[in-house]
Structure 1
């Protein structure tokens, strides 16, 4: 199995703009369906506190008259295990979720190696730790046709990564999926 970093980012490489907003990143139905297809293979999500707080809404939505892609993603998310890395979170509000106070690269590698599906690492801050430890096997970015001029970078700014292109796909909305295999984590 692989450790995959997936993110929706602006064309200039940010997951959130300078105000912390990512409203511009909301996927349309076509993009969301593609995300769902990729996420079906994920058995475990790794999050930092902020990403977990953002994602936990999926525990409660998708149970009503939302569009099919929303209901499908919610089902996928609820079915997967979640690990939250945080020294401040003491409890969780979603099933299949546990908290680890420290990001331990050896434990993460063991988790990935024993997983029944891919392991997804969410949030650029936690992902940067995994990149620095040489743990990330794949990068999948959905690039939104907007330049936000600054904010939270999708990829670590202090680390060179050697990547091999595995896939590209352009959507009608102008969003482009780029998927890479990490060849060498760099330094």
Structure 2
């Protein structure tokens, strides 16, 4: 069965966006983007909430993002080649190919997608991931920790989830970022 992997860039104090909603402090740089691309090549389907989907859709709808660097261009190709499932009660339509909307997060639907998938699944968006954590669906957690304290904002992990993890990998980067990869012990 495929794995459901939660991956994010976060501040050292555990935020994916600061209080103003910004995350420019987490720009990874080319060395980190190369590692991200290696990880994302293994993902065949992304699961998103509406906000994360709208943010990520620029990788298909705005060519200027891919034009920023060779690593960004590769990420755009990888992202466009994957299926996307957006969990949203309010999103009217999607702006990208290979994308469908589900009106609510259904753990059984996600289990079915995992069982049928030929590749791993990625989940992004703190709210949709919180639902997956609470349903005990996440198999792996990958965090790129930025050398930054932001003091508040959108937290990466939900309150009330207690989960043992097993360290599988870690890596340091020249820009001060650290990659941590954990298996979720069910």
TM-score (norm 2): 0.96
Partner of 2:146: 144
The 1-side partners of 2:134 and 2:68 are apart by: 39
The 1-side partners of 2:87 and 2:43 are apart by: 18
Partner of 1:87: 89
Partner of 2:25: 24
- Aligned-residue offset at 1:157: 1.8
The 2-side partners of 1:63 and 1:176 are apart by: 24
Name whichever of 45-54 and 150-159 sits farther off: 150-159
Give the unaligned 5+ runs of structure 1.
Answer: none
Hey, which bits of structure 1, 4+ residues long, moved more than 4 A?
62-65
Q: Secondary structure at the match of 1:174?
A: coil
The 2-side partners of 1:63 and 1:163 are apart by: 34
Partner of 1:38: 39
Partner of 2:80: 78
Give the unaligned 5+ runs of structure 2.
Answer: none
Partner of 1:7: 8
- Aligned-residue offset at 1:66: 3.4
The verdict on how the C-alpha distance between 1:62 and 1:77 changes in structure 2, with shifts beyond 3 A counting, is farther
- Maintained 8 Å contact 1:14/1:152: yes
Aligned CA RMSD, in angstroms, stands at 1.2
